[in-house]
Structure 1
Amino acid sequence: MTEKTPDILCIGSVLWDVIGRTASHMRVGSDVPGRIHRLPGGVAMNIAMTLVRFGLRPALLSALGRDAEGDELAAEAERMGMTVDHLYRSEDLPTDIYMAIEGANGLIAAVADAHSLEQAGDKILRPMGDGRLGSAEAPWTGLVALDGNLTTELLAQIAGSDLFAHADLRVAPASPGKAERLLALMGHPTATLYVNLEEAGLLCHATFETSEAAARALVARGAHRALVTDGGRAATVATADTVFTQTPPEVLVTRVTGAGDTFMAAHIASEAEGMGAEAALSRALAAAATYVSGDNPL
């Protein structure tokens, strides 16, 4: 191992978020003053940013264009403490971007121009097999965070690949609409699924009243381990042998987007530090609660 060996690989969406925010209520056709911010985003990037705050050094595996936007994003990720040497830089694909408008009455509209990651396909995984992060003879055996922005085909390829057979996979859907993509990883011997109650229902084609019922159903369906959250209600961790539930701290909710990524990263970091299962869940719930309250998650 060298000093440059990352603590975890974050595989998935890395892009620019362009967010316009206003204190005004908005409707179709509104033209109001506000602020426009450009920030690093994408599920894999969001998880990596939280992991950095917990003291880990993640490596990003994603697709960026060889354009000014890609250069700036890679430089910003490196400045924050991430390893960017293994990013796939495309000559003909642009750097992905997500654009949203938020008013006092919530998210008004959003457009995700995130086609480059899907078009790059398994090119983003080359470092896993060419010796940089692993090979067929010596595959990566550490932590891997996967996000559901990867195509169903690529997730299925990862599920069946010897290059990931001994990795500690941590998997999250990018959104409820992409939750069913994770079905490809249901039988993987090391995969941990991080989902909310709605996403668990989509994966199981059922409706659940509690996180415990959902987590048990995911394990019965083939998940190695499932962590199911339900907003401010109890969250559950389930494996074939153990099931336990905890209730998150009560806080005033000021934001929700990004809470799942914070929860997942905090849980991964806690287990990486050697915390037991129940302590890791408690810390992750506390970090997510602090995040949604609008404070720093640490």
Structure 2
Amino acid sequence: MTTRPDILCIGSVLWDVIGRSASTMRQGSDVPGRITRLPGGVALNIAMTLTRFGLRPGLLSAVGRDAEGEDLVRACDRLGCLTCDLYRSDDLPTDVYMAVEGANGLIAAIADAHSLEQAGARILAPLRDGRLGSDAAPWAGPVALDGNLTTALLEEILHMPALAAADLRIAPASPGKADRLLPFLRAGRGALYVNLEEAGLLCQHDFATAPEAAQALLARGAARAVVTAGGAPAADATPEGVLTESPPEVLVTRVTGAGDTFMAAHVAAELRGEDRAAALHRALQAAAAYVSGDIPS
């Protein structure tokens, strides 16, 4: 059995601790709900969705050798993600993301990804030592890249010879980290997957619609921009044109991980050979099923 990944997912692999309530919440709210701990992080969320489409994603990230890290690696293995190339640290604890969601959406979140940031370029060793690639034999497949990496490491990835032939698909992780994608925007490299707020931060402009935002990202230098806008139409913009489609109307029961599900479904559809319109449709359907709760966490 081969352990060669179909796609590399580079970025955060951690535990998601999510508190959800059916009540509308505001600052200071104290309401009943459920608290869950699930495997998460942008890179892992994308990888987990890719496995549902029959792909073998390889994870490049930092996971501690603490009890939480051992539990997390076992969970990733059970889900069908390849963990053999993870950087395992004796000194760095396993990262964690904590969020609170109410009926009115995400209330607050804290991402503790300090171990990933401290590990830095050590997570890329398999792309240099021949396990997955090298400068002489670059990785030529798709890569899902998340913005939880430091700006310096993202710059390094952009210019490293071992990824010069890669099909880069890039997500900012959160609006607060959107500016970390600026090097890819300036270099015209990779497909950017952003929401309306993140597109506005990258362009320093408020956009009313996803098509408007996607076209502006192209004008700023992006090779491709895929922009979502919640329940409003999404857009996929390339120099060949802009495609738009409205997502299905569903009852929203959760939001954390929806963008990652959208991106993974979109990438998986294109890897199967579907055209841009079909891929956008499938991604919107998958994201709608996820936020409605039809796809289990």
Q: Structure 1 CA distance, aligned partners of 2:111 and 2:277?
A: 36
Offset of residue 253 of structure 1: 2.2
CA contact (8 A) 1:10 1:59 kept: yes
* Between 251-260 and 150-159, the greater mean CA deviation after superposition: 251-260
For residue 217 of structure 2, what is the amino acid of its counterpart?
L
Instruction: Report the alpha carbon displacement of residue 257 of structure 1 after superposing the two structures with TM.
Output: 2.0
User: 2:228 aligned with 1:238, yes or no?
Assistant: no
Counterparts of residues 174-193 of structure 1 (less than 5 Å): 174-188=173-187, 190-193=189-192
- The answer to whether the aligner puts 1:285 opposite 2:292 as a matched pair is no
User: 1:205 and 1:101, CA in 2 relative to 1: closer, same or farther beyond 3 A?
Assistant: closer
In the alignment, residue 182 of structure 2 is paired with which amino acid?
L
Q: What is the DSSP-based 3-state SS (H/G/I as helix, E as strand, rest coil) of the residue aligned with 1:283?
A: helix
CA distance in 2, matches of 1:106, 1:246: 23
Cα 1:22/1:280, change in 2 over 3 Å = closer
Contact 1:8 1:142 in 2 (8 A): yes
State the match for 2:131 in structure 1. Answer: 132
Alignment of 1:26-65 (within 5 A): 28=28, 30=30, 34-65=33-64
Change (3 A) 1:254 1:189: same
Contact 2:15 2:96 in 1 (8 A): yes
1:160-175 equivalences in 2 (<5 Å): 160-175=159-174
Other structure's SS at 1:82 match: coil
With over 3 angstroms needed to count, the CA separation of the structure-2 counterparts of 1:198 and 1:110, relative to structure 1, is closer
Partners of 1:211 and 1:110 in 2: how far apart? 24
Secondary structure of residue in 2 paired with 1:186: helix
Deviation at 1:242, TM superposition (A): 2.1
Partner SS for 2:243? strand
Residue aligned with 2:149, SS: coil
- SS of residue in 1 equivalent to 2:226: strand
CA deviation after TM superposition for structure 1 residue 192, in Å: 0.4
Cα drift, residue 212 of structure 1:
1.2
Q: What is the match of residue 265 of structure 2?
A: 266
- Residue in 2 that maps onto 1:15: 14
- Unaligned stretches of 5+ residues in structure 2: none
Over 3 Å counting, the alpha-carbon distance change for 1:107 and 1:214 in structure 2 is: closer
* Length, aligned pairs only: 295
The answer for the alignment partner of 2:73 in structure 1 is 74
Deviation at 1:111, TM superposition (A): 3.2
Matched position secondary structure for 1:116: helix
Q: CA deviation at 1:90?
A: 0.9
TM-score normalised by length of structure 2: 0.93
In the alignment, is the contact (CA less than 8 A) between 1:179 and 1:202 conserved in 2? Answer: yes
1:216-227 to structure 2, matched below 5 A, reads 216-227=215-226
For the 8 Å contact 2:252–2:292, the answer to whether it is kept is yes
Distance 1:82 1:231 in 2: 28
CA distance change for structure 1 residues 292 and 274 in 2, over 3 Å: closer, same or farther? same
Secondary structure of 1:203 counterpart: helix
The alignment-based identity, stated in percent, is 67
RMSD across aligned positions (CA): 2.0
Query: For the residues of structure 2 that align with 1:24 and 1:210, how far apart are their CA atoms?
Result: 29
Superposition deviation, residue 113 in structure 1: 2.2
Give the letter for the 1:41 counterpart.
Answer: G
Does the 8 Å CA contact 1:167/1:190 hold for their aligned counterparts? no
Q: Which runs of 5+ in 1 are unaligned?
A: none
Aligned with 1:18: secondary structure?
Answer: strand
> Any conservation in 1 of the 2:101–2:108 contact (CA below 8 Å)?
yes
Q: Could you say what secondary structure the match of 2:9 adopts?
A: strand
The code of the aligned residue for 1:73 comes to L
Contact 1:166/1:190 (8 A) holds in 2? no
Q: Is the 8 A contact 1:19 1:99 kept in 2?
A: yes
Measured at CA, do residues 189 and 7 of structure 1 come closer, stay the same or move farther in structure 2, by a change above 3 Å?
Answer: farther
Change (3 A) 1:103 1:42: same
Q: Deviations over 1:63-87 (max 9, x none)?
A: 0111111111111101110100000
The two structures have a TM-score, normalised by structure 1, of: 0.92
